[in-house]
Amino acid sequence: MSHCTLKQATVLEIKTTGLLPTLVPRLSTSAEQELQLVLQIIDQTNLTPVHDKRSSPFFRPDNTLDSGALYKLIKARGQEDNPRAEFIWKNLAPPRVQLFLWLLMQGRIQCRSVLLRKGIVDSGTCEICNAAIESPEHIIHGCPLGRGVWTSLNLLSIISVDMNDLHSVQGPPSNPIPELPSFLALVCWQIWKARNARIFRNETQTVSQVLQDCISAASLWKHRFPTREKPIVDLWCSILVMAREGQG
């Protein structure tokens, strides 16, 4: 999916227009080999007007995905007393950001070190800085963009932390950040999105822009927060604005 520019295209559309126009021009050797196999499968596939029949234990009666049931499964397995699980699943971030956080802390986001291990890319080197292996830690706080974001926020304790220990990060003692787990989720999510924008759309963002995106996202998150928690977002935005203005 990381090589495709039309992720919502149907099989019929691909069968009709071809797969090659939908791919980014940066396929690795492994991806090129896989492409030939996929092209053979597409060529051998005969479509019919009959609707697909799909089933899943996570489908509702109307055949739509019950994401709530899926999240409950992920959060199960006796994790109630696990501090990492509490950090991920009991913060105020939206469910998809919680899921990202879960993958991040397990080292399973689709960074180049993971893709290299799966044989999908030929090199694990970060395509943005070309200075180190692109691990989860490198994306979040090792690459200049992520490091600059955390430095501007004075959250220096995160810069050397293993993502598996993200829950242990402490905020600045002189300026405590309310609901810190949710705040960390917000910033990590926006750094990840900025990385993807650079890799897949060649859009380069500055530290100031990432901080502004955090402010915009926080304002949206505020609508789903409990009433008593909404003032927290205002404090977040004040912290983010000061950090952004510090960028000059």
> Is residue 115 situated within a structural domain?
yes
> Could you tell me the two tokens for 143?
């690459």
Q: Using one digit for the tens of pLDDT, what is the confidence trace for 73-122?
A: 665 555 556 788 889 988 999 989 999 999 999 999 999 999 998 888 88
- CA-angle at 101, arms to 100 and 103, nearest 5°: 65
> Is residue 205 situated within a structural domain?
yes
Q: Using one digit for the tens of pLDDT, what is the confidence trace for 182-203?
A: 999 999 999 999 999 999 999 9
Q: What is the pLDDT of residue 52?
A: 65
Q: In terms of domains, do 32 and 145 share one?
A: no
Per-residue pLDDT for 16 more than 90?
no
Q: In terms of domains, do 127 and 18 share one?
A: no
Query: Quick one: which of 97, 99, 96, 92 has its CA closest to 225?
Result: 92
Q: In terms of domains, do 39 and 81 share one?
A: no
Q: Using one digit for the tens of pLDDT, what is the confidence trace for 203-228?
A: 999 999 999 999 999 999 999 899 99
Distances (CA, A) of 129 to 60, 70, 234: 44, 36, 34
Q: Is 171 left (phi over 0), alpha (psi -120 to 50) or beta?
A: beta
Q: What is the pLDDT of residue 70?
A: 62
Range of the domain at 20: 11-44
Spatial contact of 171 and 155, defined as CB atoms under 8 Å apart: yes
Query: Quick one: which of 79, 137, 147 has its CA closest to 107?
Result: 137
* DSSP bridge pairs for 125: 133
Instruction: Determine the distance from the C-alpha atom of residue 219 to the mean position of all C-alpha atoms in its chain, rounded to a whole number.
Output: 19
Distances (CA, A) of 148 to 26, 52, 63, 140, 208: 28, 48, 45, 10, 9
Q: In terms of domains, do 113 and 209 share one?
A: yes
Q: In terms of domains, do 112 and 207 share one?
A: yes
Q: In terms of domains, do 77 and 167 share one?
A: yes
Q: In terms of domains, do 30 and 116 share one?
A: no
Q: In terms of domains, do 37 and 109 share one?
A: no
Confidence tier at 248 by pLDDT (50, 70, 90):
very low
> Is residue 4 situated within a structural domain?
no
Q: In terms of domains, do 123 and 177 share one?
A: yes
Q: In terms of domains, do 233 and 160 share one?
A: yes
> Is residue 51 situated within a structural domain?
no
Q: In terms of domains, do 107 and 185 share one?
A: yes
Which pTM was predicted?
A: 0.72
Give how many domains the chain has, as a whole number: 2
Q: In terms of domains, do 162 and 229 share one?
A: yes
Q: Using one digit for the tens of pLDDT, what is the confidence trace for 135-189?
A: 999 999 999 999 999 999 999 999 999 999 999 999 887 778 999 999 999 999 9
Distance (Å, whole) CA 224 – CA 232: 12
> Is residue 62 situated within a structural domain?
no
